[in-house]
Amino acid sequence: MTETVSTVEAAVDRAIARVGKKLVLMAPLGLGKPVQLVNAFYHRAAADPSLSLHIYTALCLEKPPLGTGVEAKLSGPIMERLFGDYEELAFIKPVRSDTLPANIQVSELYFKAGSMKNVPSAQRNYISSNYTHIARDMFDAGANVLVQLVAARETPDGLSVSLSCNPDTGTELMEMYAGSGKTCISIGQVHSDLPFMEHDAEIGVDAFDLLVRNSAYDKTLFAVPNTAVPIQDYATALHASTLVADGGTLQIGIGALGDAVAYSCILRQQHNSDYRAAVAALTHQQVAVACHGEPFDQGLYVSTEMFVNGMMHLIEQGVVKRKVYDNLALQLGLNSGAIGHEIDERLYDYCRARGLIPARLEQSGLDELKYWGILDATAVLEDGALVLAGQSLASDMDEPATRSAVLAQGRGRQLRNGRVLHGGFFLGPADFYRKLRELDAAGQEQICMTGVRRTNQLLLNYPLYCAQRRQARFINTGMMVTLTGAVASDALEDGTAISGVGGQYNFVAMAHDLPGARSVLCIRSTRGSGKQLKSNVVPFYGHLTIPKHLRDVIVTEYGVADLRGQSDSEIIKRLINIADSRFQEELLAFARDHGKVERDYRIPVEARNNTPERLQQALAPLVKKGLLPAYPFGTDLTDQELALAASLRKIKALSEEPAHFISAAFKALLHHGDEAAARPFLERIQLEHPETSKDFIIQQLLMMELQERGALKVS
């Protein structure tokens, strides 16, 4: 039976009593970390050198740094509003400063992108693992304290627990330990604001050895603010969205590109003529892979590692609506069009022919037919007879009277327990969590949080997952692509870990194993600016996440390159065609010099104008109509804060180029700004009365910037 305690300190006591002084703690990635519980273990070990504590986790959530000076004055109130009383992980600062106590070690399997780039201890202890292998690897590492943030609610059978945001690896680890004979303790920390997700995430009353329940620990859940989407990401996403087939399957990742892909699908659905015009303006090269521009009639099904905010918007806008069922016969019937979702004669006869409706009904068959909604929830078996709506019928399902009664009782009803989304974990903004908390019964029925062993692979049930994941499009991002089609997504060539492989390799491999599926890796064509501008299409690279033999579809803001099954020469040509034109000739020269492209090959004329200016021109009509907003799914920032942030970013970028900064500062000093109009902005960042010459120059630059971007209401 699960024991309940009211303090995290008591939970630490129980854990030490159970497993001893060598504590190997496994906490989920992202939102699922029970911060106060993890911190209690950390503080106990820091105070007691006789204890050994090794923490394994991933994606540690930190509040962004405040910055300094004017930047801090802008971000401080925003941070307080967004993150409230969120409690940070106690080990983060010691990890960053390399001051962890000698008896404590922290290993992450996935970093927030770039967050630990210059942190030696984090780099040394980083573990690279496919997400589907994490449970196995943690079991082999001897994890003996399993901790997780959970949701809980009272049911007629008592307290029920949901793994909520992270059923990804927890259940699998618990199953491994259940039959291993190894000693471990599983501890859940209840949070009242965590959405209670049902189905695979709901694990009953006795899944954990210990539950910590104390409302004092209900600190603000970490919410990831929506990010702004730049115009080049919109261009990439519009290209990628044309690869998504109606009636197919979708997976997308987190971040601006993921949001842009989701929004592009909504644009395709809600503003189809504008969408098609934008795609036509962007597309200047023939694309080998099949492209689609029609609205989503059948809709999409989502099978994804990460359930992101954009997917919730896709559900709300009617793009994600294709239901799948965990029954192969039903799924194949729906795929072929032999049946629909309605309880009717076609469905009855189809299910009878395939044995889903048995010849003679017994209790197991009755339970299954009720689960799928073919029989009403009130149906029972009494003395061998089927009792339906008060009518006693023969349990012989070929009996005409029984068949007629079942069909009459089911008229107007549809199949139950279809899912439009299977996800491994979720993370997003506060309003996303609110929507999940407020799901009604119908909303809960169609969303299933589950393990990554299901979402990220096919091994558990290849026939069923093939039937469900038809026309799958796995859309993810990478940092760089080589001319042979290999992709670097998680680390630099010197070994520096930037993020992690996560599920990317699995999704790419699945795209090659699933009939009709494609892996789509989105790459920004360049990085940096000015003299630091570099191409992300590179001749070669010293670290690869996706090897060239798994190359498939690469998308940049300049187009789509279908690489599957192509020769090295053709792949190089297609990638150069979607590279930034400022780097095309040197890429081609490298390929020529290494004998990969014929000496007389020339880049097609239509591919020689891959410039940011062309993108701006192609997408200008959508921008003018307000159809490419900076924040497609909203923002927690005010208009004033958005204007200030954009202007301060530009000023900061100028400061990194002294010649440009001096020129802009001189212009600003000569600029006659409307101080009255600017005053609310200046007061917001306490810059109305600058005390230093530096602050005065920033003030003048800021007023000029705000006026130029039209943020000031000039009197």
What is the number of alpha carbons within 13 Å of residue 98 lying toward its C-beta? 8
Q: How far apart are alpha carbons 562 and 553 in whole angstroms?
A: 5
Q: What tens digit of pLDDT does each residue of 112-159 get?
A: 999 999 999 999 999 999 999 999 999 999 999 999 999 999 988 888
Work out the pLDDT band at 502, boundaries 50, 70, 90. Answer: very high
| pLDDT for the residue 108 | 97
Residue of 618, 694, 579, 523 lying closest to 277 (CA atoms): 618
Q: How far apart are CA 477 and CA 472, in angstroms?
A: 16
Q: Is the pLDDT of residue 715 over 60?
A: no
Whole-number Å distance between alpha carbons of 268 and 271: 6
522 within 8 A of 236, measured Cβ to Cβ:
yes
User: Which is more confident, 523 or 693?
Assistant: 523
* Cβ count near 654 (within 10 Å): 18
pLDDT tens digits, 285-343: 777 778 899 999 999 999 999 999 999 999 999 999 999 999 999 999 999 999 999 99
Q: pLDDT tens across 513-543, in order? A: 999 999 999 999 999 988 889 999 999 999 9
Query: Bigger pLDDT: 670 or 39?
Result: 39
Residues 6+ apart with CB under 8 A from 144: 19, 22, 23, 24, 182, 183, 184, 185
Percent of the chain surpassing pLDDT 90: 80
Q: Give the single-character DSSP code of 216.
A: G
**Average model confidence (pLDDT) for the chain?**
94
Q: Check residue 714 and give its pLDDT.
A: 58
Q: How far is CA 437 from the centre of its chain?
A: 18
Angle at CA 415, nearest 5°, toward 414 and 419?
120
Task: Quote the CA–CA distance of 404 and 394 in Å, as a whole number.
Answer: 12
Cα gap 597→588, rounded to integer Å: 8
Cβ 715 vs Cβ 677: under 8 Å: yes
Give per-residue pLDDT as tens, 237-278: 999 999 999 999 999 988 889 999 999 999 999 999 999 999
Q: What is the pLDDT of residues 582-593, one digit of tens each?
A: 999 999 999 999
Between 63 and 467, the higher pLDDT residue? 467
Dihedral of the alpha carbons of 115, 120, 122, 123, in degrees to the nearest 10: 90
Cα separation, 431 vs 636, whole angstroms: 10
What gap in Å lies between CA 326 and CA 342, rounded to an integer?
17
Q: Per DSSP, which regions of 81-142 are E strands?
A: 104-108
CA-nearest of 185, 145, 118 to 24 is 145
Q: What is the arithmetic mean of pLDDT over 18-30?
A: 97
Give the pairing type, strands 559-562 and 553-556: antiparallel
Structure tokens at 421: 């989304």
What does the pLDDT look like over 583-637, one tens digit per residue?
999 999 999 999 999 999 999 999 999 999 999 999 999 999 999 999 999 999 9
Residue 465 pLDDT > 80, yes or no?
yes
pLDDT digits (tens, 9 = 90+) for 701-710: 888 888 888 8
- Can you tell me the distance from the alpha carbon of 22 to that of 183, in angstroms, rounded to the nearest whole number? 12
pLDDT tens for residues 381-422?
999 999 998 899 999 999 999 999 999 999 999 999 999 999
| pLDDT value at 111 more than 90 | yes
Question: pLDDT tens digits, residue range 539-555?
Answer: 999 999 999 999 999 99
Work out the end-to-end distance of the chain between its first and last CA atoms, rounded to an integer number of angstroms: 71
CA distance 423 to 134: 17
Mean pLDDT for 650-657 is: 78
Structural domains for the chain: 3-217 (3.40.1080.10), 231-323+421-612 (3.40.1080.20), 328-410 (no CATH), 639-708 (no CATH)
Q: Which residues contact 149 (CB under 8 A, 6 or more apart)?
A: 28, 31, 32, 33, 34, 35, 164, 165, 166, 188, 189, 191, 194
Would you say 8 and 217 are in contact if contact means Cβ atoms under 8 Å apart?
A: yes
